[in-house]
């Protein structure tokens, strides 16, 4: 019952968020701020995680190939497919759900308990639109770039492992990376990233916006926002994959 | 002038407000007093439209705010300034940006005109020169004054103050009270102050209403409150030894 209530309230909030847009001049400034805060602020962690992910995929694939019948370029091919189809989209989205999601829920939650949202409403401002729309637009815009960066860094990480560990030759790795490349994989990854960006921002925003009480409730909302958005990302991942790839 | 007619409100089946009727006059400081949980804040939130009453009407200069379309409500809200208990300044904006915020939203002003208005409002609350500071960098009393500056930036017709003195030292509290009173008279604003502070009642209470268990239990002025025979009001107002002495003196 509580889940249904939350779903209903979430859609009502989203309806309110997009029904009365705030002045474009104010939103524009906020979007630039959020792109910097939510997107560029995550570049460091995405770079580190993607580089090591690509490196480990390369090592694991190489160490698990025992048969001489399996060509060496399979390592590069696997690293590319894994990074593009899942790691740079879903795993990065889950990491961002933790980092960005908790940030959004606690920021909006604190604004709620310190009456800053009431102050916006009193001024005749649609607080949902003013606070949530810039975050959603910024994330949906910048996250696909982060995903592409993650793919590049991950595959580069795999290449460096090939170069320095010698588990696979760099020529074979590059051949695998280029083998049977389909541009649709990138489109699929970017569509997923954009959907996940919406989830990562809107669900924690809902939990932050619904806070009643004090600092304790803000913490609870932050946790709920991260957990729920992570679960919804996994469900959406399945649905999008079924729709686009099967 | 703001008029409340038969305001009822309940939450989860518990009746909080029981048919409150009151008129807040223009150019006067109207104080709402009552014990914690008596319904003061709910009444104020119903008045400004943050909560919809279950029954009754709120009229701003004769216009029925409760049954207005959203766009018309926005027009009324542009005329409302509100000082919140904790200031409710936007953490991510400087003092100057906080005061400019309502101007950017609703006024057609150039950057230069906005700057002049910000400086005027800050000057009016005796806070000139702190334009570039963030709310976290100023004291509670200064935050309240900046909150007042933001509330008056659009030249409001109605000013709401939710416990403006809470958490302030006595001299700053008196300063804030006097500021509210001066602004009310200077700009002929209809001012509503929710307070627990009996000093405020005695200083600025042109019109005082006492809310007890969701009912309007008493109505009067700072002069008549000293002679009240209402038991519940006496228990609240004359709870301290100081107020008992004030009563015995006069």
Q: What pLDDT, on the 0 to 100 scale, is given for residue A117?
A: 94
Rounded average pLDDT over A165-180: 92
CB contacts of A125 in chain B (<8 Å) are 105
Helix orientation angle between A170-178 and A127-165, rounded to the nearest 10 degrees: 140
A92, A39 Cβ separation under 8 angstroms? no
Query: A39-48 pLDDT, tens per residue?
Result: 888 999 999 9
Q: What is the mean pLDDT of residues B186-207?
A: 88
Give the containing element (helix H, strand E) for A225. helix A215-245
A123 and B105 within 8 Å at the Cβ level: the answer is yes
The percent helix, strand, coil of chain B (3-state, each to 5) is 40, 25, 35
Topology at the third CATH level for domain B2-79+158-249: Rossmann fold (3.40.50)
Average pLDDT, chain A: 92
What is the arithmetic mean of pLDDT over B41-53? Answer: 91
Q: How far is B237 from chain A (nearest CA, A)?
A: 28
Q: Parse chain B into domains and list their residue ranges.
A: 2-79+158-249, 89-155
**Interface check B85 vs A, CB under 8 A:** yes
Check B104 against A23: CB less than 8 A apart: yes
Inform me whether the pLDDT recorded for A20 exceeds 90.
Answer: no
Between B192 and B235, the more confident residue is B192
B88 with A114: Cβ contact below 8 A: yes
Hey, which residues does B95 pair with through a beta bridge?
none
Q: What's the predicted TM-score (pTM) here?
A: 0.86
Q: Do A122 and B82 touch (CB under 8 A)?
A: yes
SS3 content of chain A, % helix, strand, coil (to 5): 85, 0, 15
Give the gap in angstroms from C-alpha A9 to the nearest C-alpha of chain B.
Answer: 17
* DSSP character at residue B51: S
**Selected residue with higher pLDDT from A38 and A145:** A145
Out of A23, A26, A118, the one facing B88 most closely (by C-beta) is A118
A232-235 long-range Cβ contacts below 8 angstroms, 24+ apart: A232/A199, A232/A203, A233/A90, A233/A93, A233/A94, A233/A97, A233/A196, A233/A199, A233/A200, A234/A90, A234/A94
Q: Which residues of A touch B82 (CB under 8 A)?
A: 118-119, 122
pLDDT score of B250:
62
Q: Do A115 and B84 touch (CB under 8 A)?
A: yes
Asked if A130 contacts A24 with a C-beta cutoff of 8 angstroms, the reply is: no
List residues in chain A touching B: CB distance below 8 A.
20, 23, 25-26, 110-111, 114-116, 118-119, 121-125
Q: Report the residue of B80, B105, B160, B167 to disrupt the A interface, i.e. the one with the largest count of A CBs within 10 Å.
A: B105
Give the range among A167-171, B138-142, B222-226 with minimum mean pLDDT: B222-226
Encode pLDDT of A31-77 as tens digits.
Answer: 999 999 888 889 999 999 999 999 999 999 999 887 778 898 999 99
Nearest to A118 among B84, B90, B106 (CB): B84
**Cβ distance B186 to B151 under 8 Å?**
no
Q: CB count, 10 Å around CB of A157?
A: 24
Q: Does B78 touch chain A (CB under 8 A)?
A: yes
What ipTM was predicted for this assembly? 0.84
């Amino acid at each position: 019952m509580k889940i249904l209530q939350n779903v209903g309230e979430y859609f009502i909030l989203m309806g309110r968020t997009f029904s009365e847009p705030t002045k474009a001049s104010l939103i524009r400034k906020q979007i630039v701020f959020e792109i910097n805060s939510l997107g560029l602020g995550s570049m460091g962690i995405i770079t580190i995680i993607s580089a090591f992910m690509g490196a480990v995929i390369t090592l694991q694939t190489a160490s698990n190939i025992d048969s001489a019948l399996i060509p060496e370029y399979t390592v590069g091919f696997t690293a590319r497919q894994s990074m593009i189809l899942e790691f740079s989209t879903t795993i990065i989205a889950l990491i961002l759900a933790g980092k960005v999601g908790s940030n959004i829920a606690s920021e909006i939650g604190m604004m709620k308990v310190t009456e800053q949202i009431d102050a916006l409403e009193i001024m005749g401002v649609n607080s949902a639109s003013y606070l949530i729309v810039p975050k959603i637009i910024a994330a949906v815009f910048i996250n696909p770039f982060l995903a592409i960066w993650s793919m590049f860094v991950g595959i580069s990480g795999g290449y460096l492992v090939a170069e320095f560990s010698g588990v696979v030759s760099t020529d074979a790795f590059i051949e695998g990376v280029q083998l049977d490349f389909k541009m649709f994989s990138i489109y699929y990854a970017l569509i997923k990233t954009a959907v996940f960006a919406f989830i990562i921002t809107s669900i924690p925003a809902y939990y932050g916006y619904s806070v009643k009480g004090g600092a304790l409730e803000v913490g609870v909302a932050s946790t709920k926002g991260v957990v729920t958005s992570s679960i919804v990302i996994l469900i959406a991942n399945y649905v999008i994959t079924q729709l686009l790839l099967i | 002038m703001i008029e409340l007619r038969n305001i009822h409100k309940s939450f989860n089946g518990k009746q909080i407000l029981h048919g409150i009727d009151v008129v807040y006059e223009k150019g006067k400081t109207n104080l709402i007093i009552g014990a914690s949980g008596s319904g003061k804040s709910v009444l104020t939130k119903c008045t400004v439209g943050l909560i919809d009453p279950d029954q009754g009407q709120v009229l701003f200069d004769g216009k029925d705010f409760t049954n207005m379309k959203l766009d018309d409500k926005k027009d009324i809200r542009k005329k409302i300034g509100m000082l919140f208990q904790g200031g409710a300044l936007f953490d991510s904006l400087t003092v100057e940006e906080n005061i400019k915020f309502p101007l950017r939203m609703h006024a057609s002003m150039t950057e230069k005109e906005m700057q002049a208005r910000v400086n005027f409002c800050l000057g009016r609350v005796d806070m000139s020169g702190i334009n570039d500071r963030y709310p976290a960098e100023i004291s509670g009393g200064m935050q309240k004054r900046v909150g007042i500056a933001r509330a008056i930036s659009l030249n409001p017709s109605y000013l709401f103050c939710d416990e403006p003195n809470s958490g302030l030292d006595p001299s700053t509290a008196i300063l804030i009270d006097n500021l509210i009173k001066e602004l009310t008279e200077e700009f002929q604003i209809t001012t509503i102050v929710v307070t627990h502070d009996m000093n405020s009642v005695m200083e600025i209470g042109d019109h005082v209403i006492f809310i007890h268990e969701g009912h309007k239990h008493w109505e009067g002025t700072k002069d008549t409150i000293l002679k009240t025979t209402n038991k519940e009001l006496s228990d609240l107002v004359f709870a301290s030894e100081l107020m008992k002495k004030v009563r015995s003196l006069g």
